[in-house]
Amino acid sequence: MQQHLEGSAEVFVPAIVLGELHYGANKSARAAENCARIETFAAKSAVLRCDAGTARHYGKVKDGLRAKGRPIPENDVWIAASAIQHNLTLISRDSHFQEIDDLRFEPW
C-alpha cells in the first residue's frame, strides 16, 4: 500500500482511521515506534474531522445498510460517511465497503 500512497499528490485520512491505527499500534510489541510512524503519516496527510455534515452522511449510510440487512463495523460507517461527504474514493482491504451506496470504493 505504501507504494500507492507515495505516488499520490494528496492523501486524506479520517480522524477515525488514525484512532484505529493508534489502537493497533498501542497493542503491538513496538507501540512507541508504531505510534511514531502513524504521527509521521498523519503529518503528511490531510486529516478529516467529523462534523454535522459527516453525521448526516452517517445517518444515510447506516440506514441504507440496515435496509439491506448488511451491517458493517460502526467505525467503518463513519469512515464511509467521511469519504462520501468529501467526494473521495475510499481505499481499503475491507470488502464490506462495497455494500454502501454512493461510495466510491477501491479495494487494495
How many Å apart are CA 46 and CA 12, to the nearest integer?
A: 5
Average pLDDT, integer, range 66-74: 97
Q: What's the confidence (pLDDT) of residue 87?
A: 97
Which residue shows C-alpha cell 484505529? 20
* Domain residue limits, the chain: 2-103
Architecture of domain 2-103: 3-Layer(aba) Sandwich (3.40)
- 8 A C-beta contact, residue 12 and residue 88: yes
Concatenating the DSSP letter of every residue in 29-52 gives TTHHHHHHHHHHHHHTSEEEPP-H
Average pLDDT, integer, range 20-26: 98
Average pLDDT, integer, range 11-22: 97
Q: ∠84-22-15 over CA atoms, to 5°?
A: 25
